[in-house]
Structure 1
């Protein structure tokens, strides 16, 4: 009996225990279904499903004619899945030697035996033998097509184990052409590369596109796509850069940097009417490679003391306020003048003596310009600074590209202001400007006073269709009066015709501009160690400007040269000459000659009395015959000849175009000019613009054809 009770008790205990377990299981099932169902269903889904980001293709950056400046190209890393379903021992052993030989010949970094050992060990002696990296080198698409023909790999992913990991790489086909302005990509969140510099950074949102998402389902041990939101490719950017002009600018700058052992330099070419940047070159000396390359965007980011190119603003202030005229005089003495304890010097030894305001500008007299500014503004320096602010020289340009240098023009209440601030600022010291800011100011002069915002991108395209055009933007509609513009244009032409940039003159077209030679601070050593910056900024053709350009070369070897006309000027001239040669719209169009026989002969402009005698003898009808002018211009229509005034004013260069050599020489020499004649026929060009001020004894060249 005790045994029976013991058995019953044990069976009962087991029964109760099983019952309790069953109750717990039921309760747990209810909890899972009603309360934790969503949680566990979600977890199960994450194990069997996952979202994979499908990256959009980044848009291209193109030159103004559509040529690629930056594009994303696919590159691949080769891996091998040694657990691929079709990669049996028999198949592997039959092909491993051939594959090793092919890999050795393709990558040329290891012998065939080394590759065979690597493949064999990965197959049989490595615990984790899935997706083994074959070679670290990334290959392009054409190379990938070759590799896909190798033994084993030609069998495909599942049978041969070939795994191709694609990675898009940003490349610039023209290598170093405007590379800092185009920009580059840096690693961002999730190891995704994003634009941070230059145009790549400024237009990151337009270039990057919109990523897609692929829903992957695990089926039979394999991940397969079941749904997908397609990515949207990035837009293409069409820039204002002209590849041909860019190549010219970089080549000319590079040669001059080498010639003068300079530290770095920049050159910018801008379209006058639109502000479009057609070329922008930045080259610095790389001490590691001992070559010049694009290290930094000096044109946009480096604000330095501009030196004499700033004198244009000083003269414009004087003219705008009515303090001086071009023919007013200033005594520069022996070229040395003291402001308190500081001495101002002219680069011309012995000074220029007493000269006109125009000559002071053309010859870049530090003493002349500073004395004029100091004399008229010393008791009201705020008026001078306010005028510079009116020219918008104290403001940034608001570029889309990051990193613009900050201009500096201090106000008289600045703690660092002193008695010598005004004269030194007047010649481009104690102020700071970037090359692009200086060029924008000069471009406004060429553009009849309208200051344009520099523009790097002209339109956005999506798969060839234009989706947005970027209009020109005006920063200031008029920076000064029309009268001041007329006077300073004449002065800028005079710099090339008679002043510090005479070496830039040519017979094909006119250049207007200003040289600059500034002694800059040598890092922490200050000005004690003489370091220079040479520059030239201007526009061409001066008669009808199409392009403006600036060249700045920093720290040339002073034993070889450091003046602006000598170091920077030739780069400007090379760029201008080649741009002129490549731009047919700048060449004067010659009218086609009328094939029909004219009813009256072609007459040259000249002395009215002589022309009257000829036309009376030939019995021709002359309109305006009674005009009271000693010199006349003639025009013909059918059988009629018409006279027009040809005024000759004192101290202004006469217009002798269309005259014969006898009359032209008579007028010019009686006016006080020394004349050089080139060619035969009628006068078709003169080296000094009609109406310009001149000094008795100046030389003028007239061209005949």
Structure 2
């Protein structure tokens, strides 16, 4: 009887041991079989880190190979909060170098994390200072940052890339798929001390760099255009300005200048209004520059000849219960004089001789109301209403450059068609795509859009437009030694308060080409809201002359025989 309790205890103990072994066995099976995949993944997460690496962004060079956009290695600084003894002290030390408030840095450094970015893609000078400030738990790593060595030069065309290296505006955005480097995911290993290391062989696997672009812009021509435009905008106290220089035979853009400028290396304090490419995004009523194209339509349709006589109504004509004025009292004049003197009444009569359907057809043919398809983002198509929406005065108004919205790139492309014998070309900025080794992958060739007028009409209108410069309103666009063809324009802007035309807000412009007999340059100058003298012949034509004179000399274009200039009004 006495042994029974002892034997029972042994059975109980044995049973407990068997149960314990069973629990352990079940746990082993659960860990090694049932949860194996989950635990393996968890272990990998603890010892591995997946990162995305990207090859260097491609460079952008001008037509002569001068670098306009490039990548440079700059430092980024990170912290390891768990390794810091005093986050507050570290934040105070870093704040003046990183130019970040102390409290913001301290908040980051007090996080319960093993890694935190403090500042990305610093200036090299900041990185140099940090290298001489050894601090436990703070480290530097080199990253690629977009850099524009010419600063503001060509900024509206180049655009800029964001902190993550993605193109956000301009060429950087339009050609993002070509410029960005190859992306590759790399799994980094952590050693026993928690340090990140590359697995063997991966450190040498650098992602391929992006493709490079050769653009049609000439850095020297761009510099001249920007310099002269800035001076004109400053002198006239204008709101903004635009200069575009094209090769009329190919449509290649040699310069595209916008004022005010911006520096794509310092974007943090700027708004979208500052970097907007007004040459493509802003429409304006072209005013009298439209008369050059209406003249081409009239000559092509044989409703006007240079010698056709028109009566100027002594500067005042009533249409649809409204009065059209000229800037001077004009009587009988030839059609050539209508354009040279920039007669609104003569232009209105020309438009009425054409009729609404034919005028509308030529507006479309010259590219108005549609995008030019230039290879830059943000372009708008302007505003050209269908004749069915025109009012009783619309035919006359459009003929003198009202009731129609155009962009500078549309207007210069249309006039360049006259310089090109009546053939409209597609404007373009990028001429070549190359790989990282410099091998050409794609070449962009000039593209004909359509013939608008005959070569004979183009020559006739060119002769008329030469008269604008020698005997008319555009005499301040004259370039000594060269034959210049062009047209002035002064357009009233809509007053946003009244919805009617403003008596104080104007757009002054000049568009033309040179040399007239063998055009090398087509150019438009638009000055928005100049103060004081606002006539296109006063504020825009001189810019055309100064830019044209310097660029022709730079290109080595030989001069013609001296051109005799008549004293003429510089208005309109």
Q: TM-score range, shorter-chain basis?
A: 0.7 to 0.9
Report what 1:186 is aligned to: 162
Give 1:404 shift.
0.6
User: What is the total number of aligned residue pairs between the two structures?
Assistant: 549
Give 1:5 shift.
3.8
CA contact (8 A) 2:488 2:510 kept: yes
Is residue 540 from structure 1 mapped to residue 511 from structure 2 by the alignment? no
Q: Secondary structure at the match of 1:370?
A: helix
Alignment CA distance shift 1:206-1:499 (3 Å):
same
- Return 5+ residue gaps in structure 1 as ranges: 90-98, 116-120, 154-159, 590-683, 689-697, 700-705
CA contact (8 A) 2:258 2:278 kept: yes
Report what 2:266 is aligned to: none
Q: Distance in 2 between matches of 1:144 and 1:445?
A: 55
Cα distance per residue 1:543-562 (max 9 Å; x no partner): 211111100011111xx201
Q: Distance in 1 between matches of 2:261 and 2:238?
A: 8
1:449-598 to 2 correspondence within 5 Å? Answer: 449-530=422-503, 531-557=505-531, 560-584=532-556, 586-587=557-558
Report what 1:612 is aligned to: none
TM-score, normalised by the number of residues in structure 2: 0.86
Is residue 256 from structure 1 mapped to residue 237 from structure 2 by the alignment? no
Q: Secondary structure at the match of 1:73?
A: strand
Report what 1:622 is aligned to: none
CA contact (8 A) 1:451 1:474 kept: no
Cα distance per residue 1:152-176 (max 9 Å; x no partner): 58xxxxxx76621334332222211
Report what 2:383 is aligned to: 408
Q: Distance in 1 between matches of 2:357 and 2:240?
A: 35
Give 1:236 shift.
1.7
Q: Distance in 2 between matches of 1:213 and 1:137?
A: 20
CA contact (8 A) 2:224 2:550 kept: yes
CA contact (8 A) 1:59 1:208 kept: yes
1:85-100 to 2 correspondence within 5 Å? Answer: none
Cα distance per residue 1:140-198 (max 9 Å; x no partner): 447646754x4858xxxxxx7662133433222221112121111236xxxx3411211
CA contact (8 A) 1:391 1:480 kept: no
CA contact (8 A) 2:373 2:427 kept: no
Cα distance per residue 1:5-35 (max 9 Å; x no partner): 4444344234223323423433443454444
CA contact (8 A) 1:346 1:367 kept: yes
Is residue 13 from structure 1 mapped to residue 16 from structure 2 by the alignment? no
Q: Distance in 1 between matches of 2:22 and 2:99?
A: 69
Alignment CA distance shift 1:410-1:147 (3 Å):
closer
Give 1:359 shift.
0.5
CA contact (8 A) 1:549 1:572 kept: yes
Is residue 343 from structure 1 mapped to residue 323 from structure 2 by the alignment? yes
Alignment CA distance shift 1:203-1:151 (3 Å):
closer
Report what 2:265 is aligned to: none
1:272 aligned residue (248, 256, 272):
248
Q: Which has the larger radius of gyration?
A: 1
Q: Distance in 2 between matches of 1:341 and 1:177?
A: 50
| Aligned-pair Cα RMSD in Å | 3.6
Q: Distance in 2 between matches of 1:127 and 1:495?
A: 72
CA contact (8 A) 2:340 2:473 kept: yes
Is residue 352 from structure 1 mapped to residue 352 from structure 2 by the alignment? no
TM-score, normalised by the number of residues in structure 1: 0.71
Alignment CA distance shift 1:129-1:521 (3 Å):
closer
Q: Secondary structure at the match of 1:438?
A: helix
Q: Distance in 1 between matches of 2:563 and 2:134?
A: 79
Report what 1:331 is aligned to: 311
CA contact (8 A) 1:268 1:279 kept: yes
Report what 2:346 is aligned to: 368
Cα distance per residue 1:44-67 (max 9 Å; x no partner): 222222322222211122222222
CA contact (8 A) 1:282 1:296 kept: no
Cα distance per residue 1:631-686 (max 9 Å; x no partner): xxxxxxxxxxxxxxxxxxxxxxxxxxxxxxxxxxxxxxxxxxxxxxxxxxxxx656
CA contact (8 A) 2:508 2:527 kept: yes
Q: Secondary structure at the match of 1:313?
A: helix
Alignment CA distance shift 1:581-1:60 (3 Å):
same
Greater relative contact order structure (CA < 8 Å, 6+ sep): 2
Q: Secondary structure at the match of 1:566?
A: helix
Give 1:538 shift.
0.6
Give 1:319 shift.
1.5
With 482-491 and 357-366 compared, the bigger mean Cα shift is at 482-491
Report what 1:164 is aligned to: 140
Q: Secondary structure at the match of 1:408?
A: coil
Give 1:400 shift.
2.2
Give 1:354 shift.
0.6
CA contact (8 A) 1:532 1:556 kept: yes
Q: Distance in 2 between matches of 1:43 and 1:687?
A: 86
CA contact (8 A) 2:430 2:444 kept: no
Q: Distance in 2 between matches of 1:108 and 1:13?
A: 70
Cα distance per residue 1:275-309 (max 9 Å; x no partner): 111111111499xx99xx95421111111111111
Give 1:390 shift.
2.8
With 169-178 and 135-144 compared, the bigger mean Cα shift is at 135-144
2:289 aligned residue (305, 309, 318):
309
CA contact (8 A) 1:521 1:527 kept: yes
Give 1:108 shift.
11
- Return 5+ residue gaps in structure 2 as ranges: 263-268, 568-572
CA contact (8 A) 1:282 1:295 kept: no
Q: Distance in 2 between matches of 1:519 and 1:504?
A: 21
Cα distance per residue 1:432-478 (max 9 Å; x no partner): 11000100011111111221111111112233513334323424242
